[in-house]
Amino acid sequence: MQPTVPGFDLERYLPYRLTVISGRLSAGLAKQYKARFGISIAEWRVLLNVGYTQDLSIRDIEARVNLEKSKVSRAASKLEDRGYLTKHVDDKDKRLLKLTLTDDGIELLGELIPIAQAFHAQLDAKLGENIDALQESLDLLMEIEP
């Protein structure tokens, strides 16, 4: 006799739904910036974090955006090769590589941010009056430690 699978509503399972939604949103936005600027999702995440958070290392970005260190390192190297950021060894901990945007990186972010803002405005419009409740719920979920 074949064992039966325990009852489980995958379609209402929050971690699953958040993962699927996150992937869809990332892919939707990525289509726009990849087509115009040729950058990947990992490169986008590195650029944003370096641009809007002070004194970040590759390890810091890995923890912030939940990307493997190798993906963050490759993205940072590609961005460095294209002249968008520089890497330098941390003064206090020689094992850490700190990242800084170049002028070209700042200029690129200046072109990318309006795309992100327009994408966000579309989401706001779709969610309407539910946006504040969703943001509050997401704030609570962001407090959960891995």
Q: How far apart are CA 95 and CA 92, in angstroms?
A: 9
Any idea where the domains of the chain sit in the sequence?
Answer: 30-128
pLDDT at site 117: 97
CA distance 47 to 112: 10
Give 10-residue mean pLDDT values along the chain (146 residues): 91 95 94 94 95 88 88 95 93 86 97 96 96 96 87
Region of residue 31 (phi > 0: left; psi between -120 and 50: alpha; otherwise: beta): alpha
pLDDT of residue 110: 96
Tokens standing for residue 127: 């969610």
8 Å CB contact between 60 and 45: no
Residue 2 has a pLDDT of 85
What pLDDT, on a 0 to 100 scale, did the predictor assign at position 91?
83
What pLDDT, on a 0 to 100 scale, did the predictor assign at position 21? 96
**Cα separation, 5 vs 28, whole angstroms:** 34
CA 138 – CA 41 distance, rounded (Å): 21
Q: Which residue has the tokens 């405005």?
A: 121
Q: Give the model's pLDDT for residue 133.
A: 96
Q: Which of the listed CATH numbers 1.10.10.10, 2.60.40.10, 1.10.3720.10, 3.20.20.70 matches domain 30-128?
A: 1.10.10.10
CB atoms under 10 Å from CB of 35, counted, come to 8
Query: What pLDDT does 96 receive?
Result: 83
pLDDT of residue 71: 94
**What's the pTM value of the predicted model, to 2 decimals?**
0.85
Which tens digits make up the pLDDT trace of 21-50? 999 999 999 999 999 999 999 999 999 999
